Each structure stands twice: as C-alpha cells, then as structure tokens.
Amino acid sequence: MRYSESHKAETHQRIVMEASRRFRRDGIGATGVQSLMEAVGLTHGAFYAHFASKDALVEEVLRSIAREAENPAAAAIVGDDPIRSFIDVYLTPLHRDTAEIGCPLPTMSLELAQRGSPSPETDHLVVDRLDAFERALARADASDQSVALLASLVGALVLARSVSDRALSDRILEATRRWLLARASS
Amino acid sequence: MRYSESHKAETHQRIVMEASRRFRRDGIGATGVQSLMEAVGLTHGAFYAHFASKDALVEEVLRSIAREAENPAAAAIVGDDPIRSFIDVYLTPLHRDTAEIGCPLPTMSLELAQRGSPSPETDHLVVDRLDAFERALARADASDQSVALLASLVGALVLARSVSDRALSDRILEATRRWLLARASS
DNA sequence: TGTACATCAGTGAACGCGCGTTCACTGATGTAC
DNA sequence: TGTACATCAGTGAACGCGCGTTCACTGATGTAC
C-alpha cells in the first residue's frame, strides 16, 4: 500500500516518540523492537524500513530528547529563580512516577555506558544541563555547584525510584529538595 | 564425584562472590548464569545445585553485600571526620573504575527496581547507609543531610561512569567532592 | 478518461543466538557390612 | 581388611522463549502512456 507523502515521516516520528517514552520508563534493554512496534500499531518487520538497527534508534531518540524543550526537566529553567524552579520540579513524586516524560539521565545514562557504545550523545545530555545551570547561577563556584547539583538531582531520583517503601522514597525527594534549596538556590 | 564436607559451601560462596562482583560491574541482566559459572570453573548446570533460580542468587548477593564491611564505601566510616573520609573515598576515579568492589547503589539499585521484584533488600542497603551517615553527623538536620549526601554521591558516580569523556568524568567527581566537603563535612 | 506499470511502507515467516531452567546421568568418595 | 552400596556436586544435552534482524512478498496509490 502506498501512503501519502508525509506518512512515512509521521510513522518514523511516532516510533521515535514511543521509544523515547519506553527507554526512559523501562530502560533500553527492556524495550523490545517487537513490543515497541506493536505499541505503534505495526508489525516488527516494518521497523527496519525506518531504522538500520536498534542502536540507530537509540541514537535518534537521544538526539530527539536533546532537542526537545518540553520535558519537565528542561522546561523549568525560567523565571525569577530558575534553579529553585528546576529543583522544585525535578524532585517531585510526579517526576519520579512519570519517568517516560522526564529527565533521561536517571534511567538511561548508566545503561548507555554499560551497553558499551560510548557515543558522545550521553555526554551532550550532561554537558547541556551543566551549561544551563552555570548560566542560571552566575556565581564564583558556579561550575562546581552545577555539577554537584546535577549529581544530587540525578542521584535522588535514582534512589527514589529504587526503593520499594513509598514513604522512604518521598523522604528522599523532600529531604534532598530541602537541603539543596537551603544551599544551592541562587 | 563426592567432595569434602566444606566443599559445597566453598563453591557456593565462590559463586556468590563472583556474582557480587559482576552484578556491580556489568549489571544483573548482563550477567548470564552460563558465563558466571564458567568464571567459577563449573558448567552452568551446577548452578541449580546451589540456587533455586537466578533471582535467589540476586537476593543472596544483596544480603552478602549488606553484610560485608570490606567494600571501600563502607570501610571509610571511621576516623576523626568519618563523613569527609567517606566522601573522599567514594568520589575517586578508583571507585568509579572498580565498580565490582564498590558501592552497589549506583549500578544495581535502579536495575533492581526495573526488574519489578521489589524485595526489601534494596531498601535495606539505602537505609543502612543513611543510618550510618546520621550517626556520624549528629547534627540538627542530620536526617536531611544524610539523604542529600547519599543522593549526591550516588548521582555523581552514576554520571561519572556514564560519560565517555574522561576529563568530564574526573570533573564530576572532583567538583562534587569539593562542593560536598565545603557544605556537608561535620 | 482509462489502463498498465512502478513504488515502497508494511507484512509475517524465518534466521541464529543467548537467556534461564530442567534432567538423566557420572563417578569419586564416605559408609556399612 | 576388603567389597558393595549410597551419596550428591557437577556434567552436558536439551527445553521453550524472546531477542534483534532478514527477506520474499503484498497491495494501495501515484504516475506514465
């Protein structure tokens, strides 16, 4: 069946977006090509009309995430106190429970490294975030603080998503948030 | 072939220790039963003379890690300034590059959660660490600070292991270390 | 305007592979007679 | 002391399964005549 001119590009984009959500929610390894294509409404064979391999999809998803400014993690770098806003949005139960539209670093960064494909895409995600922090901070120790802040945020989300005790998970988010706001807000 | 009385327990322990290293270095999913048993010098079939399943091994490894005090992450909670010592040891290139004998949280915690088996073992690892911090801190905001400190340490190690640029990786460790020592040391 | 052909996104069976797991079997050693 | 048997850690072939990937094929539509 032949489709309208934009049809392929639209399908392509739907695959990328679904993968982007699943990679962040379930991880890359746990996202199979077959179930991914089923979710998009196609059979697995069609995948290779759009991507040379799963790794090629991973790269495109990373580029797509780096591009988008709509994810909660990126959207909050605005307002009077952008750092405070970012912390407030990042360390919420909502962000913890909706990994599929959240920051890719807590879920994907380590897996990308363990997969052994050291593409510079991960570095870009980290560097872009650090640059945004440094711009918003504009302090003497902005460089160190940006790094420490990002590490705290990512670590808190990793731990909050890892523990099974909901109360402990909430405590991790709230305590880190309080502590960071007392020390890191500009 | 029948073996000496302690032989089975020794083999059992060798499997647990090898798995403990591999789980932390490569991840649980990436550690296959076959290659694990090969590393111990046995065939894969023998695995089930020691463990009911791979999940049973995972649980025993977690218990083993919680028990051991020899890993660098736990060993440093001593001396005049135990928090400082801990930070100094945790945020080193050595710890980053020897995940197999390091803290299990950066590598294993998220994967345990993603596997969907919410055993309380992960929670114990986190709670034990937090308790140790609180005891060493003994300050008014010790609870918040313990959580934020652990989050920073875990996040920094996750990020340092994720980026491919070695200089950036070193910078993540050093900047977080400087920032934490200036604010979190007791 | 009507017919023949080219295009190509998507189909679905099949590929080799490694996974966790099962199980009939081996054979060196400890124990019983 | 010598022989027969029981034990059981470890062997290795085989299981079903899902993975990523390949490929001959389909068939609705756009284009050419």
Contact predicate A124/A111, CB 8 Å: no
The verdict on a CB contact (< 8 Å) between A154 and B159 is yes
Alpha carbon of A4: minimum distance to chain B alpha carbons (Å) = 39
Residue B78 has pLDDT above 80, yes or no: no
State the nucleotide closest to A47 in CA–C1' terms.
C10
**pLDDT tens readout for residues B97-109:** 999 999 999 999 9
Return the closest-CA partner of residue A73 out of A112, A32, A108, A116: A108
Q: How confident is the model at residue B92 (pLDDT cuts 50, 70, 90)?
A: very high
> Which residues of chain B make contact with A26, given a CB cutoff of 8 A?
114
Average pLDDT, rounded, for chain B: 91
Would you give the distance in Å from CA B35 to the centre of its chain? 21
**pLDDT tens readout for residues B3-54:** 666 788 999 999 999 999 999 999 999 999 999 999 999 999 999 999 999 9
Mapped onto helix, strand or coil, the DSSP state of residue A133 is helix
State the helix-helix crossing angle for B142-162 and A166-184, rounded to 10 degrees.
90
Return the closest-CA partner of residue A19 out of A97, A6, A8, A50: A50
Instruction: Determine the protein residue whose CA lies at the shortest distance from the C1' of D14.
Output: B45
Residue B96 has pLDDT above 50, yes or no: yes
Residue B2 has pLDDT above 60, yes or no: no
Q: Which amino acid is at A171?
A: R
DSSP state of B108: I
pLDDT attached to residue A154: 98
**Whether the predicted model's global pTM rises above the 0.85 cut:** yes
**pLDDT tens readout for residues A114-133:** 998 777 888 999 999 999 99
Q: How confident is the model at residue B74 (pLDDT cuts 50, 70, 90)?
A: low
The residue ranking higher by pLDDT, B65 or B118, is B65
Q: Report the alpha-carbon distance of residue B86 to residue B185 in Å, rounded.
A: 10
- Tell me the percentage of chain B whose pLDDT exceeds 90: 76
The verdict on a CB contact (< 8 Å) between A29 and B29 is yes
Query: How many CA atoms are closer than 13 Å to the CA of A161, on its beta-carbon side?
Result: 37
Residues 6+ apart with CB under 8 A from B41: none
Residue B70 has pLDDT above 50, yes or no: no
In sequence order, what DSSP letters do the residues of A48-91 get, joined into one string?
A: GGT-SSHHHHHHHHHHHHHH---SHHHHTS-SSSHHHHHHHHHT
To the nearest 10°, the Cα dihedral for A48, A51, A54, A56?
160
Tell me which residues of chain A have a pLDDT lower than 70.
Answer: 1-5, 69-78, 185-186
pLDDT attached to residue B141: 86
**Is nucleic acid strand D under 7 Å from A54's C-beta?**
yes
Instruction: Give alpha helix (H) positions in chain A.
Output: 7-26, 33-40, 54-67, 72-75, 82-90, 93-97, 110-114, 121-137, 142-162, 166-184
> Which residues of chain B make contact with A162, given a CB cutoff of 8 A?
105, 109-110, 112-113, 122, 126
Return the closest-CA partner of residue B61 out of B130, B6, B107, B3: B107
What does the block give as tokens for B32? Answer: 């296959």
Rounded distance in angstroms from the CA atom of residue A47 to the C1' atom of nucleotide C2: 37
Instruction: Determine the protein residue whose CA lies at the shortest distance from the C1' of C29.
Output: B2
Nucleotides of C under 7 A from a protein CB: 6-14, 18-24, 26-30
> Which residues of chain A make contact with B180, given a CB cutoff of 8 A?
148
> Which residues of chain B make contact with A110, given a CB cutoff of 8 A?
106-107, 110, 158, 161-162
Three-state DSSP string of B22-36:
HHHHHCCCCCCHHHH
State the nucleotide closest to B37 in CA–C1' terms.
D10
